[in-house]
Chain A
């Protein structure tokens, strides 16, 4: 029930409690209670719209920043990750396996804004040894949602 509920909400957070209950095969009260407790436990952390920023008037630019870090003896990557997370320009922060340590997604109004933010705020952090900035050119899919016009339903209307 919990996994099923999360799966459905991650697909569409605007399903009504009744629709969720129908799809799961339970009653509305149970769903409501489960959602409340998942919110309280911090499993569900928020509800947001999936937006294609490229199709609004003044689109935001975003960049993926690969950051190499010297981890601190007792804190590891936590300290620097938390510091980077605290900037409002930063959309997401992930600790990575492989060639670099932190993957940071940054949003800004212009390329310059983002570049300056990286140079001034991220590159200057003590334990950061290098940054590599990759600007996003075009988005095709965001949070499971295709941002380009998908193929039409081309199923023939034959009586099967």
Chain B
């Protein structure tokens, strides 16, 4: 008999599987369950983008592309980021097209982090940063962001987390699950801490288009002296509703992108060709479709925030992404208990804040990738649940 515990990589085995799996499995067995759990747009990919994919297939564009991605797509990404964020990246050697933002994060971490190096990760945040850092041999150093700071990282928290071993800072804003946004002044304060160090910022800006502040999204790469120490990661999943196409990108100094490209080349070869052709259309001709989706998210966002506050769950205004992160502390329940009991009694699925790090205790994440009618029904059920406590 094989003893698999002896053959498998210990580092991999030691990574906890997501605890939320079990919870979602229970929800899947209920037929009238109403979920606010999904972190994926409910909109179809705009037709023009789908059509561009179809056309590329009709023309037989079914071969590998270059490792970095189609030249034309990299040119479009370059001008898109220049247009949106006023940061210039050369299509030739400063952009890598990846399989979703996730791969770009993985490759960026692997290119920067070696055995024993420390990676600073703010939490609550998306679940991949910690395991990716560990698999690269790194040691995650967690900053627990505070509700009273609107879940932004502060310069003091950052200074306290930095040691001589710090190699990278993950900067996940707009933030899943908190909806927090780091505005220009917040980023300037962080840049002041980092400017004279060798720390690389891996800035996960996948939700940048979904920023509901007056001035819109700011990238840390825009701040003086930061472009040279930043890897900007983004992708097509959220803004263009292209989750299943699996396409993202990383932009950064050519020295870093060259090493990232090596990893990408040997692990992946190249991002999916059909998706790359479709993405050219997305970058160049779909601003209106994105604006329409954003306007709809904004209506739902306001509906949900007001709804939670009205029924007694304090909910700060999330300024980005498509999640609300209300506090459930007033109920006296833990996040896990709250979600479990809400699912049992009212068949509403929301995600416990603790799925995104210990600092998420006392909060739940509710996604507004659902129609207003769906959200209204979910809020009614949650209100009924709260009255039984």
Contact mask A131-160 → B, CB, 8 Å, 1/0? 000000000000000000000010101111
Q: Which residue of B lies closest to A151 (CB)?
A: B44
Interface residues on B, range: 20 to 34
Q: Which DSSP category, helix, strand, loop or mixed, fits chain A's interface?
A: loop
- Asked whether A15 lies within 8 Å of B18 as measured between CB atoms, the reply is no
A22 at the interface (CB under 8 A from B): yes
- Asked whether B18 lies within 8 Å of A19 as measured between CB atoms, the reply is no
Question: Given that A12-B373, A19-B372, A22-B307 are contacting pairs, would A155 and B302 also be in contact in the complex, using a CB cutoff of 8 Å?
Answer: no
Contact pick for A157, options B38, B126, B300, B302, CB 8 Å: B38
B335 at the interface (CB under 8 A from A): no
Return B337 CB to nearest CB of chain A, in Å: 19
- Asked whether B303 lies within 8 Å of A19 as measured between CB atoms, the reply is yes
Contact pick for A22, options B303, B355, B373, CB 8 Å: B303
B209 at the interface (CB under 8 A from A): no
Residues of B within 8 A of A8 (CB): 299
Q: Which residue of A lies closest to B299 (CB)?
A: A23
Count of A interface residues, CB-CB < 8 Å: 14
A1 at the interface (CB under 8 A from B): no
- Asked whether B27 lies within 8 Å of A157 as measured between CB atoms, the reply is yes
- Asked whether B38 lies within 8 Å of A19 as measured between CB atoms, the reply is no
Q: How far is the CA of A45 from the CA of B339 in the complex (A)?
A: 44
Contact pick for B40, options A15, A25, A155, CB 8 Å: A155
- Asked whether A22 lies within 8 Å of B306 as measured between CB atoms, the reply is yes
Q: Which of B40, B243, B299 has the most CB of A within 10 A?
A: B299
- Asked whether A159 lies within 8 Å of B35 as measured between CB atoms, the reply is no
Q: Which of A8, A15, A157, A159 has the most CB of B within 10 A?
A: A159
Shortest Cβ-Cβ A-B pairs, 9 listed: A160-B39, A157-B24, A23-B299, A22-B306, A22-B303, A159-B20, A155-B38, A23-B303, A155-B40
